[in-house]
A and B are shown apart, each in its own frame.
Chain A
């Protein structure tokens, strides 16, 4: 995935690049929006809107400042949180006073605060061998190769162990989703 190339193609008005990005990231963004909103219609709309906004204003993304995946996920997360808040306000009713609004920049992350805790707990609940590779690769910032060297297994084994751990974490989070 060459972020620079996709960015250039989208800036140049190449629709096929947008289609390829949709193929590549729509399941991820939709999954993210669905986890936050728990609303299929909203998640679908948010997914559409994230891509359409990126197409309309591609200069809002700067590849020097981070990956396209993180950028799109951050926008999807922000829109999902906005949706949840406006739903809450609607439920509470227009007459209820809004005592405080959390400032937007605190939410400029991919993971919601309550999800952070769930992810941490899910990692802690993994069997030792799986927890170790996740901690090295994600908390310790090691590459797959470095993880393999550190635990003394071939790189392919480390890679499949990490994927197994990721699947286990995804299942745990899905079970716990209220």
Chain B
């Protein structure tokens, strides 16, 4: 309404600042209402940010008993996230919350967490989940992101494991937001770019897992929007990916960065990738892409 804008503009011309000290008071109040992202090393920030975003969705969530995904309600979903975060925490030597880990396997650990949380309130479960996530963030201060670890049997360097946790937290945050009718904004570019990079590097892995014989070919993957980028991905197992720099490729793919990550995460079955070049290879890659996603 035009009068609203006029009113705010004229108040802006004669501002009456609140008394000094308000900013510091606000930051203290705010941190007590919803925890800020845990302070952590730069390569773990996408994870800390997605954890804070999940907490923000939780703060607006009202349908606590509704099934969100995999037959799980909000408490069970948080239990699942806590379970998988805990396996990574154990692998990097961070404190593990909840019952001791007996089997290093995601679904067994999820079942253990579900059993443990069932008698507790949702708010207690929220606190345990957040404590586990923040403990993992803090423990990464001295960690080597290139060290290979295998929590739950998945061999990846620590840095990629954490990006994987960021991705799964984001996808389940999105599931919760959809279930609640909330509009979750995409991550900041600084958070999204490393997650998109992980999902780009995982594309040849999903192709391999699906039995695709791609030979010595490579593709160009262009992810658009804030946080996107341009990658050169050899499909030969073990060949390193890099920033695209004019290399000869069999296929060029183009997709929105956030939507692409969701496809790798098993969401957005209707998302289409623009393809140029070997279109049958494009179809095979697209079909194989969600192969690593699971609960």
- Which chain A residues have a beta carbon within 8 Å of chain B's beta carbons? 4-5, 7-15, 18-19, 22-23, 26-28, 30-32, 34-35, 43-44, 47-48, 51-52, 55-60, 62-64, 69-70, 73, 109-111, 115-116, 119, 123, 134, 138-139, 141, 163, 166-167, 169-171, 173-174
Between-chain CB contacts (< 8 Å), 11 pairs? A8-B187, A13-B34, A15-B27, A26-B18, A27-B15, A30-B17, A48-B25, A55-B34, A123-B6, A138-B6, A169-B10
Q: Which of A14, A34, A115, A134 has the most CB of B within 10 A?
A: A14
Please list the 9 inter-chain residue pairs (A to B) with the smallest Cβ-Cβ separation, ordered nearest first.
Answer: A13-B52, A13-B37, A27-B15, A170-B14, A12-B49, A56-B33, A55-B30, A138-B6, A31-B16
Given A30-B17, A32-B11, A174-B14, 9 more A-B residue pairs with CB atoms under 8 Å apart are A19-B23, A27-B15, A27-B16, A30-B16, A47-B18, A59-B177, A64-B183, A138-B6, A170-B14
Which of B2, B8, B27, B184 is in CB contact (< 8 Å) with A28?
B8
List residues of chain B with CB within 8 A of the CB of A60.
Answer: 60
Contact B11 A63 (CB under 8 A): no
B13 at the interface (CB under 8 A from A): yes
- Interface size class on chain B is 35 or more
Total cross-chain contacts (CB, 8 A): 165
Which B residues from 5 to 46 make CB contacts under 8 A with A?
A: 5-19, 22-23, 25-27, 29-31, 33-37
Give bound CA distance, A106 to B183, whole Å: 25
Taking A7-B185, A8-B186, A166-B13 as contacts, is the C-beta distance between A52 and B3 under 8 angstroms? no
Main secondary structure of the interface of B (DSSP, over half): helix
Give bound CA distance, A47 to B21, whole Å: 13
Contact B37 A173 (CB under 8 A): no
- Which chain B residues have a beta carbon within 8 Å of chain A's beta carbons? 1-19, 22-23, 25-27, 29-31, 33-37, 48-53, 55-57, 59-60, 177, 182-188, 191
List residues of chain A with CB within 8 A of the CB of B35.
Answer: 13
Please name the residue on chain B nearest to A134 by beta carbon.
B6
List residues of chain B with CB within 8 A of the CB of A64.
Answer: 183
Contact A11 B16 (CB under 8 A): no
Which of B14, B23, B27, B185 is in CB contact (< 8 Å) with A4?
B185
Which of A57, A69, A174 is in CB contact (< 8 Å) with B8?
A69
List residues of chain B with CB within 8 A of the CB of A109.
Answer: 1, 4
Contact A52 B30 (CB under 8 A): yes
List residues of chain B with CB within 8 A of the CB of A139.
Answer: 2
Please name the residue on chain A nearest to B61 by beta carbon.
A59
Contact B13 A138 (CB under 8 A): no
Contact B14 A167 (CB under 8 A): yes
Please name the residue on chain A nearest to B51 by beta carbon.
A13
List residues of chain B with CB within 8 A of the CB of A23.
Answer: 23
B268 to chain A, nearest CB (A): 19
B156 to chain A, nearest CB (A): 23
Give bound CA distance, A178 to B203, whole Å: 67
Taking A18-B30, A26-B17, A52-B26 as contacts, is the C-beta distance between A138 and B56 under 8 angstroms? no
Contact A13 B7 (CB under 8 A): no
Q: Which of B6, B7, B191 has the most CB of A within 10 A?
A: B7
List residues of chain A with CB within 8 A of the CB of B3.
Answer: 111, 116, 119, 138
Give bound CA distance, A31 to B8, whole Å: 10
Contact A48 B177 (CB under 8 A): no
Please name the residue on chain A nearest to B48 by beta carbon.
A13
B6 to chain A, nearest CB (A): 4
Please name the residue on chain A nearest to B52 by beta carbon.
A13
Taking A47-B22, A111-B7 as contacts, is the C-beta distance between A52 and B60 under 8 angstroms? no
Taking A26-B18, A27-B15, A170-B11 as contacts, is the C-beta distance between A14 and B2 under 8 angstroms? no
